[in-house]
C-alpha cells in the first residue's frame, strides 16, 4: 500500500513546488481599493512577513499563491488602513482616565459630575476633566467657586472641548509658578503649558492611555495616527512599547519645539516616524483666540498670535537646516498668513520638505497660492465644520465665513489634502471625516463647490496622509512592498447612498498582516 501512494505524492509535491509560491496570508474574493496612482481596484492580495507581495485579479493571485491562512472577504470592500493626519492620540487615551464633561450644561453640573467621579477614583493626584463647552451652557458664566469649595485639597483641571483653554481651581494654580491676582479659574492658551507641566501622569497611566487609544482607533479602521504634539519622553515611551510588542499602531509624531526635541529628531523607523516640529501659532474660533485680520463679529477682538513672527522664523530656520518638517497650527486668516509668509521666506520656492499648516481653517484669497508656491501642505479636519457651524456663525463675520473650512481650493494648490480629526476635539471615525468632506454641512455660507469627491476623500484619509507624513513608501496604499495595513468594511463607502454612509461599519482591521480588530456580532 505504501508504494502505491508514494509516487503520486512525490509528483504532487513537485508540481506544487513549481506552480505555487507560499504566503502567510492570502486575502481574496474582495473589492480592494488599492488607492495606487491609477486608483485601481483589485480582488486579491498575498502577504508575507507583514508586507504585500502580490495584488491583482482573483485568478492571478489564487493560481500563484498557497497561503498558510486564507481569508475569503465575501466580496466586501477593502481599503488601505485609514490614517488620521492630525489627532491627539496619547491625549485621547489619557482622557480615558478623566471625566467627560461634554454633556454638561452648567458649572453646577460640572461640579456634580466631578464629585461622583472622585468617589470612585481617589488615587490619582489630579482630577482632570475634558470636553466642556460654555457655548452649550444655559448660562455661559465661568467660575471656579464650586471647584474651590468641593476640592480644596485636589488640583482640578478641566479642558475646554477645543483644548485651547482650561478651568482650574485654586489648588491647581498653587501647583504652578503662576500667580493670578484675581481668577475665576479660566486659563487662556498662553498659560496652559504651565499646568500641563505640573500634571503628573505615571508611566503606567500613559501606557494604559496609549493602549486604550489604540484599541479605540483600531475599532474605527485607523492604522496610522499623526499625534500633533508630543514631548521627547512621550515619543520614547511609544518607541519602547512598539519595540516590546505592546503597541501595534503606526505613529507619526510631531514634537513640540524644544531643545530636547531638536536632539531627539529624527526617528525614522518602520512604524514610528518623528521628524516634525509642532508649533502653535494661534488659538481657536470657539475660544475667540484664533488670530484674524478683522475683529470677531460685534467685537473689537482680533485674537492674537501666541508667538512673534521672529520666534517662528527662528524655529523655521532650525527645522530647515535639519531637513525636518514643520507643522504650524494656524486657524485665523492672520495666523495663516504669518505662517505662510515666514515659511515661504525660509523655503524660497517649491520643495520636498512637506511642511504643513495644521487646520488652515481660514485662508485669505491672496494667501491661497502661497501653499503651492512653497509646497506647503494644508492639513485639515472636515468634521470641524459640522461641529462648529453654529458657533462659527455667531463668532465670525460673513467675509470671514466665506473663506473658512475650504477643501477643494486647498486641494488644488498641491493636489494633496491630508484629512484628520483633531480627536478628541472632534470624533475620530474616519468614515465621518469622509462623509463630512464629501457632503459638507448645509448652510448658506458653506460653498458646496468646496466639497471633495469620494475618491479625493478616500485619498485624504489614506495616501495623502502618507505623503504628508513622508511614509508613502511604507503605507497609504495597498501596493507591492508596502505594509499590509488594511480595513474591511461591511459596505462600500465609494458606492452606497449618502444616507447609508454614516452607518458603514468596520468588520476587520489589519496591521502588518495581523488582525488587530474584529467586530463581534
User: Which residues lie near Zn ion (CB under 5 A)?
Assistant: 228, 422
User: Which 3 state secondary structure label does DSSP give 181?
Assistant: coil
Nearer to Zn ion, 387 or 422 (CB): 422
Q: Are 194 and 176 in contact (CB under 8 A)?
A: yes
Specify which residues 506 forms β-bridges with: 489
Q: Are 31 and 492 in contact (CB under 8 A)?
A: yes
Nearer to Zn ion, 361 or 414 (CB): 361
CB of 87 to Zn ion, least distance (A): 7
* Strands of 99-100's sheet in order across: 99-100, 127-132, 156-160, 165-168, 186-188
Nearer to Zn ion, 84 or 485 (CB): 84
Euclidean distance between CA atoms 249 and 215, whole angstroms: 9
Nearer to Zn ion, 422 or 485 (CB): 422
CB of 490 to Zn ion, least distance (A): 30
Nearer to Zn ion, 46 or 228 (CB): 228
DSSP single-letter state for residue 340: H
Nearer to Zn ion, 190 or 369 (CB): 190
CB of 188 to Zn ion, least distance (A): 17
Euclidean distance between CA atoms 118 and 36, whole angstroms: 51
CB of 286 to Zn ion, least distance (A): 13
Nearer to Zn ion, 175 or 361 (CB): 361
CB of 278 to Zn ion, least distance (A): 9
> What's the half-sphere exposure (Cβ side, CA atoms, 13 Å) at 196?
17
- For CA atoms 499, 505, 506, 507, give the dihedral sign: negative
Beta strands 127-132 and 99-100 are parallel
Which is nearest to 483 in space by CA: 515, 464, 511, 463?
Answer: 511
CB of 228 to Zn ion, least distance (A): 5
Which is nearest to 196 in space by CA: 88, 336, 122?
Answer: 88
Euclidean distance between CA atoms 360 and 227, whole angstroms: 17
CB of 42 to Zn ion, least distance (A): 35
Nearer to Zn ion, 220 or 482 (CB): 220
Q: Are 25 and 69 in contact (CB under 8 A)?
A: yes
For residue 157, count other CB atoms closer than 10 A to its CB.
26
CB of 249 to Zn ion, least distance (A): 18
Amino acid at each position: 500500500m505504501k508504494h502505491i501512494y508514494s509516487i503520486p505524492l512525490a509528483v504532487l509535491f513537485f508540481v506544487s513546488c513549481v506552480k505555487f509560491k507560499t504566503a502567510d496570508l492570502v486575502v481574496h474574493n474582495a473589492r480592494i481599493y488599492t488607492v495606487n496612482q491609477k486608483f485601481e481596484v483589485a480582488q486579491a492580495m498575498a502577504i508575507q512577513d507583514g508586507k504585500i507581495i502580490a495584488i491583482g485579479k482573483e485568478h492571478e493571485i489564487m493560481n500563484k499563491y498557497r497561503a498558510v491562512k486564507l481569508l475569503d472577504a465575501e466580496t466586501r470592500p477593502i481599503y488601505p488602513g485609514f490614517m488620521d493626519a492630525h489627532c491627539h492620540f496619547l491625549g485621547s487615551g489619557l482622557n480615558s482616565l478623566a471625566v467627560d464633561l461634554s454633556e454638561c450644561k452648567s458649572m453646577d453640573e460640572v461640579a456634580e459630575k466631578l464629585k461622583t467621579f472622585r468617589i470612585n477614583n481617589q488615587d490619582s493626584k489630579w482630577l482632570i476633566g475634558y470636553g466642556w463647552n460654555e457655548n452649550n451652557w444655559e448660562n455661559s458664566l465661568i467660575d471656579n467657586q464650586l471647584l474651590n469649595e468641593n476640592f480644596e485639597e485636589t488640583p482640578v483641571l478641566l479642558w475646554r472641548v477645543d483644548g485651547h483653554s482650561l478651568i482650574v481651581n485654586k489648588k491647581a494654580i498653587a501647583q504652578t509658578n503662576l500667580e493670578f491676582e484675581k481668577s475665576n479659574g479660566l486659563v487662556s492658551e498662553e498659560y496652559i503649558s504651565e499646568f500641563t507641566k505640573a500634571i503628573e501622569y505615571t508611566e503606567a497611566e500613559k501606557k494604559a492611555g496609549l493602549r486604550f487609544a489604540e484599541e479605540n482607533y483600531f475599532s474605527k479602521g485607523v492604522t496610522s495616527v499623526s499625534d500633533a504634539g508630543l514631548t521627547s519622553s512621550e515619543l520614547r515611551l511609544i518607541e519602547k512599547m512598539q519595540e516590546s510588542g505592546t503597541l501595534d499602531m503606526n505613529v507619526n509624531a510631531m514634537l513640540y519645539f524644544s531643545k530636547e526635541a531638536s536632539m531627539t529628531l529624527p526617528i525614522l523607523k518602520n512604524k514610528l516616524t518623528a521628524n516634525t516640529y509642532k508649533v502653535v501659532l494661534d488659538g481657536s474660533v470657539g475660544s475667540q483666540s484664533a488670530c484674524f485680520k478683522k475683529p470677531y463679529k460685534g467685537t473689537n477682538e482680533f485674537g492674537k498670535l501666541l508667538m512673534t513672527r521672529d520666534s517662528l522664523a527662528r524655529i523655521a530656520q532650525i527645522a530647515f537646516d535639519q531637513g525636518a518638517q514643520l507643522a504650524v497650527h494656524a486657524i485665523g486668516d492672520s495666523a495663516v498668513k504669518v505662517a505662510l509668509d515666514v515659511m515661504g521666506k525660509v523655503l524660497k520656492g517649491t520643495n520636498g520638505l512637506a511642511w504643513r499648516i495644521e487646520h488652515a481653517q481660514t485662508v485669505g484669497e491672496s494667501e491661497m497660492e502661497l501653499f503651492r508656491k512653497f509646497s506647503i501642505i494644508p492639513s485639515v479636519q472636515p468634521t470641524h465644520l459640522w461641529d462648529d457651524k453654529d458657533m462659527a456663525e455667531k463668532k465670525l463675520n460673513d467675509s470671514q465665513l466665506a473663506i473658512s473650512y475650504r477643501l477643494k481650493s486647498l486641494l488644488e494648490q498641491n493636489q494633496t489634502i491630508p484629512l484628520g480629526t483633531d480627536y478628541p476635539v472632534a470624533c475620530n471615525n474616519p468614515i465621518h471625516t469622509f462623509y463630512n468632506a464629501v457632503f459638507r454641512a448645509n448652510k448658506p455660507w458653506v460653498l458646496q463647490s468646496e466639497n471633495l469627491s469620494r475618491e479625493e476623500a478616500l485619498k485624504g484619509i489614506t495616501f495623502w496622509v502618507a505623503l504628508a507624513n513622508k511614509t508613502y513608501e511604507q503605507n497609504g496604499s495597498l501596493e507591492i512592498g508596502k505594509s499590509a495595513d488594511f480595513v474591511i468594511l461591511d459596505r462600500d463607502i465609494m458606492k452606497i447612498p449618502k444616507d447609508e454612509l454614516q452607518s458603514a461599519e468596520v468588520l476587520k482591521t489589519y496591521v502588518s498582516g495581523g488582525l488587530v480588530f474584529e467586530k463581534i456580532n
